[in-house]
Amino acid sequence: MYRRIKRPPIGRQAGSLSERETFTSMLIIGGLFFIFGFVTWVNSILIPYFKIACELSNFQSYLVAFAFYISYFIMSVPSSYLLKSVGFKNGIMLGLWIMAVGAFIFIPAALTRTYEVFLLGLFTIGSGLAVLQSAANPYITILGAKEKAAQRISMMGICNKGAGIIAPLLFASVVLKVTDSELFKQLPLMDAGQKNAALNELIGRVILPYTFIGLVLLGLGAFIRFSPLPEIDTEQESPEIASANAAKKNIFHFPHLVLGALAIFLHVGTQVIAIDTIIGYANSMHIPLMEAKVFPSYTLFATIAGYLLGIVGIPKYIKQVNAFRICTFLGIVLTLLIIFAHGRVDLLGHVTDISIWFVVLLGLANSLGWAGIWPLALDDLGRFTKLGASIMIMGLCGSAILPLIYGHYADAWDVRRAYWVLFPCYLYLAFYAVYGHKMRSWQPKKFICQKLHRRSLKLGK
């Protein structure tokens, strides 16, 4: 018999949780971030894999990222209302089950070798992730001291990117064979019947791994339902925040949030471009897929290195906002090096143009972007926190749109010059890190007066 999901119990303030409850919550949320990373970063191998198996152009192959991430834009606001209705815990459970449905859709897609059905499966997985992200990111942001939010998010990032390192390599080991390099060379020489049979066999290899992923996601949803994860109240506001937000009727009265959502849009887009395009860029240097498959992992290793620096250094040695600023300026420099630097190097057993290693280092530049933006954008939202988080999650559709723009210019120009797409993105992120996150009014004069007033109050003390 169908059982309706009960309304959530009255949540508790994050500060009222015991040390053990906080630690347990971080472990559970860390596990969720591992799941995010596994199903997200496997796209870096799916893109070139589908390009071969479904005979796609660069632009068509990047519809993998588009179908996956556009779901964040469509589902993020509904996710906020779902979380308000059923709470963080039940929302996480439902998100995992929606992802399981998406994984199972890969079975009929593979049996028919229909790219559009694969895209539907990816959209469904992304929809479940939109619910999970809308719950997990604000949860970990408010789970402890504000000035240590970037440190906590960096820990979650290690879980996310650690899974990202494993996912493409594990997926490649399951669906790719040593003999596939020769197969890919022979495909253009085959007649229609032979080619169709070879591609059907190739695409059919995704059935087993995605069936397993679907079953695991179903089990994890059941685990979350009965886990000790506490509900956290985001509706009650402190007197100071309540007073400041008294005249604010909707989410667009918070410029730092809206600008932060745009920052997330651009940040995740740059991150996905750095990871999901690097195999194609390696292929342009005549590096075969079986060798190029490791490059996304190098980029993710660089990201993890940045997370570790953040965990050690924030806030003891550097403020989280300053770490964010350094990363944005590093992104600007690396983008220019990718485009203009030339020279053959032999590194880690790969003979490549040096520019590909600057793509790898974008992982370092992107590492503290997410951790820097979230606490700045959610600052002082009070009762608007859940809806504000959903607006931020909408920004994840940047992962859908920017790779398509890159793919368009990769076809129109070449895969190297297409990295110009990154340059304006990092310029805006630098603006947000230096100035945009401080804005509390859309009117510059009013904003400046508010800053001067707050400064005078501090001097008065």
Which tens digits make up the pLDDT trace of 74-92? 888 888 788 878 877 888 8
120-123 long-range Cβ contacts below 8 angstroms, 24+ apart:
120/67, 121/210, 122/43, 122/64, 122/67, 122/68, 123/67, 123/68, 123/70, 123/71
Angle subtended at Cα 106 by Cα 2 and Cα 389, rounded to the nearest 5 degrees:
65
Catalogue all structural domains in the chain, each as residue range(s) with its CATH number: 18-230+252-438 (1.20.1250.20)
The answer to whether residues 433 and 321 touch, using CB atoms and an 8 Å cutoff, is: yes
Among candidate residues 57, 42, 109, 45, the one with its CA nearest the CA of residue 408: 57
The set of residues, in sequence order, having a beta carbon less than 8 Å from that of 113 and lying 6+ positions away, is: 53, 54, 199, 200, 203
pLDDT, one tens digit for every residue, the chain (461 residues): 444 545 555 454 545 556 777 778 888 888 888 887 888 778 777 877 888 888 888 788 878 878 888 888 888 888 878 887 887 788 888 999 999 999 999 999 999 888 899 999 999 998 998 888 887 777 777 676 667 777 787 788 788 778 877 887 788 888 877 777 788 788 888 888 888 888 888 888 888 888 998 998 999 888 888 887 766 655 555 555 555 555 666 777 888 899 999 999 999 999 989 988 999 899 999 898 888 888 988 998 999 899 889 888 888 888 889 999 999 999 999 999 999 999 999 999 999 999 999 999 999 999 989 888 988 888 877 777 777 877 888 888 888 889 889 989 998 999 999 999 999 999 999 999 999 888 877 776 555 555 555 555 555 55
What was the pLDDT predicted at 359? Answer: 97
Write the CB contacts of 276 (distance below 8 Å, at least 6 apart in sequence).
43, 44, 47, 62, 65, 296, 403
Which tokens belong to 4?
Answer: 């309706």
Quickly tell me which residue has 């793919």 as its tokens.
407
Buried b (16+ CB within 10 A) or exposed e, 73-92: bebbbebbebbeebbbbbbb
